[in-house]
Amino acid sequence: MTVEAHKETLGFQTEVKQLLQLMIHSLYSNKEIFLRELISNASDACDKLRFEALSDDALWEGDNELKIRVSFDKDARTITLRDNGIGMSRQEVIDNIGTIAKSGTRQFFESLTGDQAKDAHLIGQFGVGFYSAFIIADKVTLTTRRAGVGAEHAVRWESAGLGDYTLETVEQAGRGTEVVLHLREGEDEFLDGWRLRNIIRKYSDHITLPIVMEKERYGEEEKEQAPEDETVNQASALWARARSEVSEEEYKEFYKHVAHDFEDPLLWSHNRVEGKLEYTSLLYIPQRAPFDLWDRERHHGIKLYVRRVFIMEDAEKLMPTYLRFVRGVIDSNDLPLNVSREILQHSKVIDSMRGGSVKKVLGMLEDLAKNDAEKYQNFWNEFGRVLKEGPGEDFANREQIGKLLRFATTHTDSSEQTVALADYIGRMKEGQEAIYYITADTFAAAKNSPHLEIFRKKGIEVLLLSDRVDEWLVSSLTEFDGKPLKSVTKGALDLGKLEDEEEKKAQEKVADDFKDLVAKVQETLGDKVKEVRITHRLTSSPACLVAGEHDMSANLERILKQAGQKVGGSKPILELNPEHPLVLRLKAEGAGARFGDWVSILFDQALLAEGGQLDDPAAFVQRLNQLLLELR
């Protein structure tokens, strides 16, 4: 079959151009990592081949020795990497190399300031993989053929890393990918076998395939003395080694490969489990949340191996969703090599490995919280909102997860979430039985809510919850350490033993005094409210709204509405502060002409104060203006 010479030029996605610029600028001081990234990709490609070949033997094409080859050419000023992995089809090249498929891409670019120095540290978080080749190369040629007998022709991709790239159909006997880097002026330091071997040992020693430095291409007359091909790395599975035999640096470099991260991990845990089940896990917690943390279809979680053979990427069954930030490998001795995703769905082995691994992760976080509060706080700031999904998803571990939670509270009034439930319990007042919380749309709305007035007066701490996930959290974490969690915006205020008998009697008397007013207000508001009553939870506001004991909180109702869900629309209870001058005046003046307006305004104000939206804002403004005019 002849191949038509067909070469087309395609433009990079706009983001790719921006990314290349930023990357060359910011990674320049650490440019040798280009080799780590390209080797990491070659290794992934070989893993993928091995996995696909489990169900399609033909993919091997008679060549079973997976290998990564590195060579350089002093005269041509090129470095070449070759792998006999899965390769790419034409479309895959376009999708993988011409575009950035990460779902957080747009947000990432929005978060950039345009100041390259400031943005430089962000690039590490994004990870740029293949494009790091352009740090040292002003032209990159990638030739690749997808594995499989009779697979389509190979394709050659070439780019100077500016605005576009070319694609051309070519012939290539072996499957896999070859990347040729045409070095920039002044990068000749990399045309040196000793230097390249050192870089490989430093960053890629953990790669489980042999990385072979090919007989170096010296000038013609020197070739005689050149060393033979040489495997540079240890090529053994790092996690299969004893802990004492793995250095900190090796753990870190391995992390960067499995997690596709440019930064060091925050912490890790390496375990061998023996007994009924045998497996090894090496689990990492990243320092920073990736941009696609909120994308539930994201990739790169836990890699599953069976007896050191790679089985699959992103084995989602191995970690629950609320721990989706964990990276690493789990290597089982019990699963069959030809395990499929379907088998994994119902595997007892997987279930127990997962249970054990979850315990490991929670334990590792608990230790961190105990031993290094500052580092733990960093973790919390990055991943806390994900961990808050835990009690809902993982009921069995909810007490342990509860220990890891951190909150903003009225104790500090800071939006930083630093208070553990144990700290809260340690500060509970004599006679306090519940852990009080308030949920609101924003931190400011929670912190300034009228519902907190009595709690502030009595010095009772309240958790200030304003993350979206918090409503979900408190619906599943209904108690901690034997203490119920109680919303301050639901039900009648019951401070239990925090109030003495005398106080309670006085309150009853006041309620009795205001009976007529309450009835009249109720009549005026009609079916806008479920009930009107006198409260003593307010000290400076005239009124507030609360939800019935068993109703949905107003905040949750708003969240669901915003998400487009139909909600029942349970009616609020209006509570009046009997000590407030406005309420006292209402009571004294009785049914003046403006009674209805006053009551409406009180109600609307209370709704606004808790972050709600008025049904008829214009009417509110009109009433208010009318009253202001009468003030003269």
**Where on the chain is the footprint of Mg ion (CB under 5 A)?**
40-41, 129
Structure tokens at 166: 């070319």
Q: Which does 209 bind (CB under 5 to 8 A by kind): ligand ADP, Mg ion, none?
A: none
Minimum distance from residue 358 beta carbon to ligand ADP (Å):
26
Q: Which of 19, 20, 39, 45 binds ligand ADP (CB under 6 A)?
A: 45
**Three-class SS state of 455:** helix
Q: Which of 16, 19, 23, 42 binds ligand ADP (CB under 6 A)?
A: 42
Question: What single DSSP character describes residue 325?
Answer: T
**CA distance between the termini of the chain:** 96
Amino acid present at 469: V
Question: Of 87 and 578, which CB lies nearer to ligand ADP in the complex structure?
Answer: 87
Question: What single DSSP character describes residue 317?
Answer: G
Per CB under 6 A, contacts with ligand ADP among 229-268 are: 260
Question: Of 96 and 412, which CB lies nearer to Mg ion in the complex structure?
Answer: 96
Minimum distance from residue 606 beta carbon to ligand ADP (Å):
51
Q: Which of 177, 410, 439, 524 binds ligand ADP (CB under 6 A)?
A: 177
Q: Which of 41, 269, 439, 600 binds ligand ADP (CB under 6 A)?
A: 41
485 to 140, 424, 435, 490, 573: CA distances (angstroms) = 59, 12, 5, 12, 21
Q: Which does 145 bind (CB under 5 to 8 A by kind): ligand ADP, Mg ion, none?
A: none
Residue 138's CB: how many other CB atoms inside 10 A?
A: 15
Q: Which does 88 bind (CB under 5 to 8 A by kind): ligand ADP, Mg ion, none?
A: ligand ADP
Minimum distance from residue 399 beta carbon to Mg ion (Å):
39
Question: Of 146 and 486, which CB lies nearer to ligand ADP in the complex structure?
Answer: 146
Distance CA 306, CA 312 (A): 10
Distance CA 144, CA 82 (A): 9
Give the DSSP letter string of 73-98. ETTTTEEEEEE-S----HHHHHHHHS
Of 545, 571, 553, nearest to 451 by C-alpha is 545
Structure tokens at 106: 């747009």
Question: Of 97 and 473, which CB lies nearer to ligand ADP in the complex structure?
Answer: 97
Stretch in the footprint of ligand ADP (CB under 6 A) among 40-48, 111-119, 186-194, 328-336: 40-48
Q: Which of 32, 37, 551, 604 binds ligand ADP (CB under 6 A)?
A: 37
Minimum distance from residue 87 beta carbon to ligand ADP (Å):
6
Starting at the edge strand found earlier in the chain, the sheet holding 531-534 runs 531-534, 573-576, 543-546
Distance CA 333, CA 350 (A): 11
Question: Of 145 and 490, which CB lies nearer to ligand ADP in the complex structure?
Answer: 145
Distance CA 532, CA 574 (A): 5
Per CB under 6 A, contacts with ligand ADP among 71-130 are: 83, 85-88, 96-97, 127, 129-130
Q: Residue 87 — left, alpha, or beta (φ > 0 → left; ψ -120 to 50 → alpha)?
A: left
Minimum distance from residue 85 beta carbon to ligand ADP (Å):
5
Residue sitting closest to ligand ADP (CB): 129
Q: How many residues are recorded in the chain?
A: 632
In the complex, which residues of this chain contact ligand ADP (CB under 6 A)?
Answer: 37, 41-42, 45, 83, 85-88, 96-97, 127, 129-130, 177, 260
